[in-house]
Structure 1
Amino acid sequence: MSTGRAPEFAYAGGVLATGLADVTTDPAALDSRGWWAVVVTYEGKITCARFEHVRPAPHPDGPWRPPGAWTSSLDEPAYRAGVETIRAAIADGVVYQANLCRVLSAPIAPDADIAGLGARLAAGNPAPHAMTVRLPGLAVACASPELYLAREGAAVTSRPIKGTGRTARDLLPKDRAENVMIVDLVRNDLGRVAGTGTVRVPGLCEIEDHPGLVHLVSTVEARIAPGAGWPELLAATFPPGSVTGAPKASALALLEELEPVPRGPYCGAIGWVDADARRGALAVGIRTFWQEDGLLRFGTGAGITWGSDPRREWHETELKAARLLEVASG
């Protein structure tokens, strides 16, 4: 298979995968054989790509040009109005928390290569769950700090992030409350597919430093029940709780009303699975760029609770985007 411009590849954790052998939308393939790159859009479209050649290597490079002017799917007044709508829904008991997002878009040069952007992100904004993928009709450069699902055999780990500031002093009681709500949601999601009594929380609201900001991060662990695999894990836990809200079904319905464009790979899942070794890691698709229709897109958002200030939440979305947009602009 060929994009007509450059060979397909996936890069994550110092490993380069080339030689595209298979592409499927069936997550059961992740329990079969081989090394797979995985991209799941927030809307649930799954792409699993098996590669023949997987080896340690530096990140591939390619031509990159700064994108044009950015536009947002929600401007500041619209975003702040959305925050107020969510606060009203919380007052009415519809949701406890919801993650309101917006998608930024900018025109890019025809010869701009996602490999070039991925290499620049790796140098300028290193992230623990970064991944770059180029497939037919799909080009993604992700610098995610957030682990959605890691699997080693039957052992599963999720590390939801809620709470963001420039420094630890910026974190508020609202951030901790938001984190605890999402941890409860993740526990419940994993509980649908976990063995009885195996879900635990070994780390709660720990402060982590990342380029340009800090996050509150918690760790949830479980062991999946016998007979369960990747399809059951995804069905029980997707979309990730940290980018939806609680209760999840109510938050999803509310966000569909408030967000004018699809999120795409942003807030979905991006990562790899080694089916032979029965291990893999999928990131929450935040801090993520993707190419679509001659545009470079990037999503940013914030978790809204009753204690949210609309202006502060808008600025949180700007903070999360700022460093990544600087890197993309060279």
Structure 2
Amino acid sequence: MREPHVREIICLEPSALALRLKGQRHLTLLESVMRSEHLGRYSFLACNPKATLEVNAGRTFLDGVPQAGTALAVIDRLLAQNRQRHVPGLPPFQGGLAGYIAYDFGRSLEPHARIPAFAPLCPDLMLHHFDCVAGFDHMQERAWIVSETEERAEELEELLARPPRPAGSHAIPGWQSNFARADYEKAIARAIEYILAGDIFQANITQTFSAPVPEGFDPLAFYRVLRLKNPATFSAFLDYGAVQVASSSPERLLSCEEGRVEARPIKGTRRRDADPSRDASLIADLAASRKDRAENVMIVDLLRNDLSRVAKPGTVRVPVLCGLETYANVHHLVSVVTGELKDGCGMGDLIGAAFPGGSITGAPKIRAMEIIAEIEQAPRGVYCGSIGYLGFNGRSDLNIAIRTAQFSGQVARVQGGGGITARSQPPAEYEESLTKIRRVMEAFQP
């Protein structure tokens, strides 16, 4: 088992340090902007990876070389081959694979599902082998570089000491949805018809806003505005050349620490209000909503089933059911599902069981994904997939990429939606889809 090299550095704001790494290959920032001791304590920054794992058109490549076996099997092989000792007292990502898994990767996990192969917005998976990572502990206000070698640590420290690169514009005008309001409400009504017919209990239906990327637009400058407009626990900025992603997600898909797994599904939303009395009323309405609680409980049951496929018998538990959490723009109902991995199960098995997250598909998952594809008639790309890290030290954390903007092919895209149940009202669901992305869209304003 490899022993990592550690050096402490000055703890500066991670997104400001990312400005100094502009232009470096595969810049990856995983940031807790809404900070707390348990969910928002750590951030990570890396670039210039040792290798890149990519899935394109159903084929898996490592640095461009085709790989035998599935992408998930390759992930488990890389994690096993590069196992390193965990250094206690430091931020948990100390080297490993980091990047994204697109929602559309889920199609390859369910080959019998009737899901069209839409023209992709980006590779279905892009994870980089980072042998050198800067980690930030916001509670201690300390930071470290953890790397395989002292030379790699020196390289990153020198890059972080450079002056920041100039920032461009964060503004994009001219947004258009792929649904007119009446058509989106018809889409919601169609999902309700499937529910009443007994096909599904719930489906997550979204609309996509897109706009051409203007000359001079800077995705990192946009992310730095977004992180202030919509601070979140699982934020991220990825610059992977042909695709960039800016995410301000509040939701964890799953974390794993030496086989101990946690998922935190979100279902149930109310907007924030600047008036304290109205805000309190919205909280009370959410807490008392039978529709929202039923929606959350359905996804908890789905996740319990997903985790049971790879967890030791009797270890899957729900320590929190429909807990209330408050963010910059919304209130959410959040549950916690935990379990312990069976002996012999790795992160590939866990991802295969739980991806994509049930809160952004619906239940039953496979039929919900089929109905989503039929109604939305488009790929989702990174949106509703996952961003995060799989550590060589047995620690992993993946978000669900909601409240997320993605940039590829000179087009910017922002998607938003919600879980549809038999109690859903199409006009209210349309308004909720706008509420969820309001802060993201505000970040594009001049």
The TM tier, using the shorter chain, reads over 0.9
Equivalent residue, structure 1, for 2:396 = 280
Equivalent residue, structure 2, for 1:42 = 103
Question: Where do 4+ consecutive residues of structure 1 move more than 6 Å?
Answer: 57-61
Equivalent residue, structure 2, for 1:132 = 237
Q: Do residues 255 (structure 1) and 369 (structure 2) align?
A: no
Equivalent residue, structure 2, for 1:294 = 410
Measure how far apart 1:31 and its partner are: 4.7
- Aligned residues: CA RMSD: 1.8
Equivalent residue, structure 2, for 1:21 = 50
1:317 to 430, 433, 440: 433
Aligned length: 325
Q: 1:31 to 1:325 in 2, by over 3 A?
A: farther
Equivalent residue, structure 1, for 2:29 = 11
Aligned equivalents of 2:182 and 2:285: distance in 1? 24
* 2:443 partner SS: helix
Q: Do residues 214 (structure 1) and 232 (structure 2) align?
A: no
1:267-295: CA deviations, max 9, x gaps? Answer: 011112222x2112100010111101111
* 1:190 partner SS: helix
Equivalent residue, structure 2, for 1:197 = 314
Preserved contact between residue 28 and residue 99 of structure 2 (Cα < 8 Å) = no
One-letter code of the match for 1:324? V
Preserved contact between residue 103 and residue 261 of structure 1 (Cα < 8 Å) = no
1:130-182: CA deviations, max 9, x gaps? Answer: 11111132211111000001111100100000000023134221001000000
* 1:79 partner SS: helix
1:270 to 387, 399, 404: 387
For residues 161-172 of structure 1, what are the structure 2 equivalents within 5 Å?
161-166=266-271, 167-171=282-286, 172=289
Name which of structure 1's ranges 178-187 and 66-75 shifts more when overlaid on structure 2: 66-75
Aligned equivalents of 1:31 and 1:148: distance in 2? 22
Equivalent residue, structure 1, for 2:131 = 52
* 2:50 partner SS: strand
Preserved contact between residue 229 and residue 442 of structure 2 (Cα < 8 Å) = no
Preserved contact between residue 242 and residue 409 of structure 2 (Cα < 8 Å) = no
* 2:98 partner SS: strand
Q: Please tell me whether Structure 1 or Structure 2 has the larger radius of gyration of its CA atoms.
A: 2
Aligned equivalents of 2:415 and 2:365: distance in 1? 20
Aligned equivalents of 2:204 and 2:380: distance in 1? 12
Measure how far apart 1:106 and its partner are: 1.4
1:98 to 203, 208, 214: 203
Preserved contact between residue 170 and residue 225 of structure 2 (Cα < 8 Å) = no
Name which of structure 1's ranges 216-225 and 8-17 shifts more when overlaid on structure 2: 8-17
Measure how far apart 1:117 and its partner are: 1.9
Q: Which has the higher contact order (CA 8 A, sep 6+)?
A: 1
Preserved contact between residue 172 and residue 214 of structure 2 (Cα < 8 Å) = yes
Equivalent residue, structure 2, for 1:113 = 218
Name which of structure 1's ranges 183-192 and 44-53 shifts more when overlaid on structure 2: 44-53
Preserved contact between residue 66 and residue 108 of structure 1 (Cα < 8 Å) = no
Q: What is the TM-score normalised by the length of structure 2?
A: 0.70
One-letter code of the match for 1:10? T
Preserved contact between residue 73 and residue 260 of structure 1 (Cα < 8 Å) = no
* Higher-strand-fraction structure: 1
* 2:310 partner SS: coil
Aligned equivalents of 1:311 and 1:294: distance in 2? 32
* 1:300 partner SS: strand
Preserved contact between residue 18 and residue 52 of structure 1 (Cα < 8 Å) = no
Aligned equivalents of 1:239 and 1:197: distance in 2? 24
1:240 to 357, 375, 389: 357
Aligned equivalents of 2:234 and 2:127: distance in 1? 17
Measure how far apart 1:109 and its partner are: 2.3
Measure how far apart 1:129 and its partner are: 0.5
* 1:20 partner SS: coil
1:58-116: CA deviations, max 9, x gaps? Answer: 99873233112111122211111111111111111000010001111112223323222
Preserved contact between residue 39 and residue 47 of structure 1 (Cα < 8 Å) = yes
Aligned equivalents of 1:137 and 1:49: distance in 2? 15
Preserved contact between residue 65 and residue 108 of structure 1 (Cα < 8 Å) = no
Preserved contact between residue 143 and residue 288 of structure 1 (Cα < 8 Å) = yes
Aligned equivalents of 1:111 and 1:32: distance in 2? 42
Q: 1:31 to 1:112 in 2, by over 3 A?
A: farther
Preserved contact between residue 265 and residue 290 of structure 1 (Cα < 8 Å) = yes
